[in-house]
Amino acid sequence: MKDNGIAQGLLLSPPLTSGGMLQNEEVFRLCELSRHLLLPILTVTPTRAGVRAAVSLARKNRDKAKGFKVLLGYFRVFATDKVFDRLYRYAEEEGLPVMFHTGDTADSRGSLAHSHPLTLDALANSRPGLKIVACHFGNPWIEEVAELIYKHENFYADVSGLAVGGTSYSDKYIGWLVNKLDGAIYFAGGADKVIFGTDYPVTSHSSALELVSRLDVSSRDKKKILSGNAERVFGL
């Protein structure tokens, strides 16, 4: 991070080689070891016990927790499921964002019906005070996310996990991606709802920064994407 001029970042539970998830308590411990270079986001299992545990841990670390993450398509659950009501109430009370995995799933067994970004519209309608972040800009449904960040006051999207390669068309894909993100920002009337992210190690810091540098938007909007919006939404 420091090599790429990144002063601070959010740490979410990364997938382990065993196929499981890193426990939220361990995420907090790693953030402490980073001397606040990294700040914790709690990953929420879509069960009553999972929600209760995440909220309880956030309460105990009220001065440290920066938000929550829900993996919709991987757990085959919709954001409007009643199991999350307790989580949303707490997030609204504390002004904490809830991040949702949207778009393509890395696992072929993931459910696109659940990870499609338009499934978040009903949640945003019913809870206008909840800060919602659509991770990965709903890729490939970027235009749909453009409508959501335009429509809803507290709806945001990050650009994490987008700048990936490894195929003979990687360069053309990045060009397509830049055009789509440019169009989304134009449609929304600015970059106030767009947040930088990497999803490291899926995307390297340098690749994610290069993606933002290629956007055909003002330097002021690029600064918002790289830092200002995250500072405002996550209280960094």
**Chain segment 46-77, per-residue pLDDT in tens:** 999 999 999 999 999 999 999 999 999 889 99
Residue 117: alpha-carbon gap to chain centroid: 12
**Is residue 17 predicted with pLDDT exceeding 60?**
no
- The average confidence (pLDDT) of the chain is 92
Give per-residue pLDDT as tens, 181-223. Answer: 999 999 999 999 999 999 887 888 889 999 999 999 999 999 9
Domain CATH for 176: 3.20.20.140
Give per-residue pLDDT as tens, 113-146. Answer: 999 999 999 999 999 999 999 999 999 999 999 9
Residues 6 or more apart in contact with residue 205 via CB below 8 angstroms: 1, 3, 4, 6, 198
**CA distance readout (Å), 121 to 10, 51, 147, 149:** 25, 21, 10, 10
Bigger pLDDT: 153 vs 4: 153
How many independent structural domains does the chain possess? 1
Tokens at 71, concatenated: 């993996």
Range of the domain at 33: 2-234
Give per-residue pLDDT as tens, 95-120. Answer: 999 999 999 888 888 899 999 999 99
Give the DSSP H or E segment for 133: strand 132-135
pLDDT band at residue 19 using 50, 70 and 90 as cut-offs: low
* Maximal CA-CA distance, the chain: 48
